Amino acid sequence: MSGEVPGSLGPLASLDAFRTLIRTEGARLYRDLPWRRTRDPYIVWLSEVMLQQTQVPRVETRMPAWLDRFPSVQALAEAPSSEVLAAWQGMGYNRRALALHRAAQTVVADYDGVFPRETKQLVALPGIGPATAQGIRSFAFDLPGVYLETNVRTVFLHHLFPDVPAVPDRELVPLIHAACPDAPSSTQGDRSQAAAGQACSAQADQGVESGFAIPQDAEDTPRAWYYALLDYGAYLKKTVPNPSRRSAGYTRQSRFEGSRRQKRAHIVRMLLDARTESPQGLDLESIARGVDALERAAGREPVDRALVASILSDLAREGFCVEQSGAWLIKES
């Protein structure tokens, strides 16, 4: 892992120096999050999806209820899609819930409920892209690879490209690949995370403010390495101007209030509520009146019926709902 690092490093002249810094900061800033206390790929996968554009504290409060209802990939696969959507409400981007459901069904049908480990197999599952796939590989299976997540991107941009605007991900990928340690042996992997956690806990008990021990090479695994990057990246975002904004792929999230996304989410909630209140479904005019009420409450104008019809058409195409005899219902699968 030695050698010069491309990019501007300042005092960090080598990959070894960079990795030493990250491992030290990772030990100092380690976050003991619930999904880090397991190697269950189902829980790891769920955390990766829930954390997409959702704050950590919210995921901490929502995940237990989800796991109570769907404790395994088999339970999720067997649940009606309406129950999956209902459990997801408040987490944003309802299509992620449907993708979770479909991916769970595929894992059960094609892999007998055992998560695959290879990137090619993982990215073939609904809703799983390269970053989520490598998150599963790193945190569940301790396998190396390129985990290009926003906090990881932040660290590499901050240290390796401190004054460079519009850095494309293709410049980061070889660096992230080179920095990631190799997979441990099976016995080493079982011991490494426990040892690292014990070291961090002992230091916290002693009230140490600095000089955190760097994990020994035996604990230098993909899982521990990417946890260190995530925690250090989260810290950097709070203490320096967000380096991720210098990524060529950075885009500011569009405003939710009054957006088409908000209207979509509201229509999905209306259709979920209608399962008990109006089991026969809701017609277009009833749905439009519900969206109008949302808009009026915010001081906005009523919506065009064509817009509501267009949203319903999109939702039907994506598998959220179906139209039967002029009424719209949540689609069950």
In a domain, 285, yes or no: yes
In a domain, 135, yes or no: yes
What pLDDT does residue 5 have? 44
Given a contact cutoff of 8 angstroms between Cβ atoms, the answer to whether 282 and 328 are in contact is yes
Q: What is the CATH number of the domain that holds 121?
A: 1.10.340.30
Say which amino acid occupies 54.
T
In a domain, 10, yes or no: no
Does residue 22 sit in the same domain as residue 163? yes
Alpha helices (runs of H) in the chain, residue ranges in sequence order: 15-29, 41-50, 56-69, 73-78, 81-88, 94-111, 119-123, 130-141, 150-160, 169-179, 186-205, 222-239, 260-277, 284-297, 305-317
- Domain containing 54: what range? 40-141
The candidate with the shortest Cα–Cα distance to 267, out of 330, 214, 202, 200, is 330
Does residue 270 sit in the same domain as residue 321? yes
The candidate with the shortest Cα–Cα distance to 151, out of 50, 237, 257, 241, is 237
In a domain, 105, yes or no: yes
Does residue 236 sit in the same domain as residue 165? yes
Does residue 70 sit in the same domain as residue 112? yes
Does residue 152 sit in the same domain as residue 22? yes
Where among 222, 246, 270 does a domain terminate?
246
CA distance 161 to 5: 11
What pLDDT does residue 184 have? 81
Does residue 97 sit in the same domain as residue 179? no
Query: Residue 167 has what DSSP assignment?
Result: B
Where among 179, 214, 246 does a domain terminate?
246
In a domain, 4, yes or no: no
The candidate with the shortest Cα–Cα distance to 317, out of 303, 333, 331, is 331
Does residue 240 sit in the same domain as residue 298? no
Q: How many domains, in total, are found in the chain? A: 3
Bridge partner residues of 247 (DSSP): 167
Where among 126, 141, 156 does a domain terminate?
141
Cβ count within 10 A of residue 126: 15
In a domain, 109, yes or no: yes
Record the pTM: 0.80
CA distance 189 to 173: 25
Does residue 217 sit in the same domain as residue 177? yes
Does residue 126 sit in the same domain as residue 214? no
What pLDDT does residue 185 have? 66
In a domain, 303, yes or no: yes
**Strands 327-330, 321-324: pairing kind:** antiparallel
Given a contact cutoff of 8 angstroms between Cβ atoms, the answer to whether 42 and 72 are in contact is yes
In a domain, 6, yes or no: no
Does residue 168 sit in the same domain as residue 237? yes
Longest CA–CA separation in the chain, Å:
70
pLDDT in tens, the chain (333 residues): 444 444 444 444 578 889 999 999 999 999 999 999 999 999 999 999 999 988 999 999 999 999 999 999 999 999 999 999 999 998 988 999 999 999 999 999 999 999 999 999 999 999 999 999 999 999 999 999 999 999 999 999 999 888 888 889 999 999 999 999 998 865 444 444 433 333 333 333 333 333 344 433 347 899 999 999 999 999 999 998 777 767 766 656 667 788 998 999 999 999 999 998 899 999 999 999 999 999 999 999 999 999 999 999 999 999 999 999 999 999 988
Does residue 157 sit in the same domain as residue 121? no
First to last CA, the chain: 49
Does residue 281 sit in the same domain as residue 241? no
What pLDDT does residue 254 have? 66
